[in-house]
A and B are shown apart, each in its own frame.
Chain A
Amino acid sequence: MKTFRAFVRKEFKHIFRDKRTLIILFGMPITQIILFGFAITTEINNADITVLDLAKDNYSQKFKDKISSSGYFHIIKELDSYNEIEPTFRKGKTKLAVIINQNFGKDLINNKDAKIQVITDASDPNTANILAGYLSAIIQDFALNNGALSPPTMVVKSQMLYNPENKSVFMFVPGVMTIILMLVSAMMTSITIAREKELGTMEILLVSPLKPAVIIIGKVLPYLVLSLINAITILMLGLFVFGIPMNGSYPLLFGEVILFILSSLILGLLISTISNSQQTAMLISMMGLMLPTILLSGFIFPISSMPVILQYVSDIIPAKWFIIIVKSIMLKGMGLDTIMMETGIIVFTTLILAVLAIKKFKIRLE
């Protein structure tokens, strides 16, 4: 026990004396979460648009007011002719233009088809799609309220469960938490072990009476603690800055967090057994771990729209299951019984990785 304490104390000293480690450990989670939370977002507010109103009647005015008050659009300019449309797009001043037909009001009253044309800048297809979607919803709503549609068609009213305002930050916080925990746990452990090998101190440790298990646990424990602190920081930011709800149980959430950290730590251990220098360890963690995790975990790109083969690949990525678990607990308030399968998969992969890591570590000793 005393030898173990001496070892862990040394590990913490390594961590607190290395500025780079500190930055990765504490600077990154905070910048990432703020970046993803504020800057990178799939929702669009106050998009600048232009309107060419050829009708200039009561209805067209009402329609424009409705667009402005939706919160999604900001009409920066009323145009006077078709010729002005293209230049505004070219200058990048606007993402969308609405053209209201000459007979807009009349057609509405006479139950004829009132015509509105929408032009979007598809050089940025995502934004164009989203804006067009927002606008059609507004148009439908406007048409309904002005009694123009007869006979009444089907009315679709969709309800957003668990995230009524459709905030993307609800998706990003669990995602960022997953990536950060993975990065800190796996990359940092693999680097710290590779470092001992590179410097030759590993040999000294192996010749010493320290048991390999003590070396491994001593290496991993500080990062478990720090990762947990990171998880708490991210969680607090999510709850208090971004207003994510916490509908489930905290003990369950932290249990799952620890499980996921452990699986990442063991992954880091495995990486360290195949890399002899810090650089190799870092490269393998980055290329072999970070990229697939970010791309295939469903964090940014929805898994259901991936090619089938990639969907299968994503199944073996613990991060995918962890994101599902975190969302289920936080947003849906689910209990352990509903996320049994996801938890089981993580436990299972962790065990496999552990067996592999121990075997590899032993072979290296022989």
Chain B
Amino acid sequence: MTDDKVIIAKDLTKKFGDFTAVDHITFDVKRGEIFGFLGANGAGKTTAMKMLTGILSSTSGEAKVAGFDINTERNELKKHIGYMSQKFSLYEDLTFKENIKFYGGIYGLSKEDIERKTGEMLERLGLQHIENTLIKEIPLGWKQKIAFSVAILHHPQIVFLDEPTSGVDPITRRQFWNLIYEAAEDGITVFVTTHYMDEAEYCDRISMMVQGKMQALGSLKELLTKYQSKDMDEVFIKLAR
């Protein structure tokens, strides 16, 4: 039963002094699911994500990600997750290939694996000609796609995306979501935060954080019916108020 769930969180809480950033959130994420994690700025999204990725310890409650406890089994946990932040996160002064070698290297992939995956990735993205180009010379839209491919290079059970499409044009966003779908089909669970409400509609299930609490959780349809709204924008405004 737990095999089908990549994240199980129960009453997960984080306090900074008197301030409760994340307040008893309970939810789970199924394997292969695209899970949208929504909320206004400061609603506790980033804090929750930091706990789930093992860089922040929780104040109370518990959570397992990829079958590992987020507080006690961090080292194992980190091998099985991928992460991409809203800040662009490849090294600009290294070439495409060197970036992949580095990230492959720190996840302990063998030389042959890295070599093979580099080839596959270039082919999938149609970017064979940029193999030895410095990242800073590559257009932003491509970089974003490359960053995502690097985040799932080691085929993690789950990949966390922190507002991956902020500052990207609509066409690139669309292409980016195609990559996310492909990853999900490969069996990689996708946990994504966004503040583009139309993007939320691409997710299998959506959760809404409001002031540290998880106010809503369900599929798009369920949420629209429950809050009698015509789209996610409306749901968001109703809940966030």
B is bound to A: yes
Question: Which of these binds chain A: B23-31, B100-108, B224-232?
Answer: B100-108
Question: Which of these binds chain B: A9-17, A111-119, A257-265?
Answer: A9-17
A-B pairs with beta carbons under 8 Å apart, 18 shown:
A5-B105, A7-B105, A10-B91, A10-B94, A13-B94, A17-B93, A199-B88, A200-B86, A200-B87, A201-B89, A201-B91, A203-B55, A204-B84, A207-B53, A207-B54, A207-B160, A365-B55, A366-B57
With A17-B93, A201-B89, A203-B89 already in contact, the answer to whether A6 and B105 are too (CB < 8 A) is yes
In the assembled complex, A3 has its CB within 8 A of some CB on chain B: yes
- Chain B residues with CB below 8 A from A204, complex form: 83-85, 89
**What 9 additional pairs, Cβ within 8 angstroms, besides A199-B87, A205-B106?**
A2-B108, A7-B105, A18-B93, A199-B89, A200-B86, A201-B90, A203-B89, A204-B84, A211-B75
Complex: A205 Cα to B90 Cα, angstroms: 11
In the assembled complex, A351 has its CB within 8 A of some CB on chain B: no
Residues of A within 8 A of B (CB): 2-3, 5-7, 9-10, 13-14, 17-18, 199-201, 203-211, 365-366
Whether A200 lies near B91 (C-beta < 8 A) is: no
- Chain A residues with CB below 8 A from B102, complex form: 6-7, 9-10
- Chain B residues with CB below 8 A from A208, complex form: 78, 83, 103, 106-107
- What interface size band does chain B fall in? 20 to 34
Q: Inter-chain contact count A-B, CB under 8 Å?
A: 78
Of residues 56 through 101 on chain B, the ones whose CB sits less than 8 Å from some CB of chain A are 56-57, 75, 78-79, 81, 83-94, 98, 101
- Nearest Cβ in chain B — how far from A230, in angstroms? 22
With A204-B85, A208-B78, A209-B75 already in contact, the answer to whether A13 and B55 are too (CB < 8 A) is no
Whether A2 lies near B91 (C-beta < 8 A) is: no
- Chain B residues with CB below 8 A from A7, complex form: 102, 105-106
Complex: A3 Cα to B105 Cα, angstroms: 5
Closest to A210 in B: B106
Complex: A199 Cα to B54 Cα, angstroms: 20
Complex: A14 Cα to B98 Cα, angstroms: 11
Interface of chain A, helix or strand or loop or mixed? helix
Whether B89 lies near A209 (C-beta < 8 A) is: no
Q: Mark B129-160, 1 if CB is under 8 A from A, else 0.
A: 00000000000000000000000000000001
Whether B98 lies near A13 (C-beta < 8 A) is: yes
Whether A3 lies near B55 (C-beta < 8 A) is: no
- Chain A residues with CB below 8 A from B107, complex form: 3, 208-209
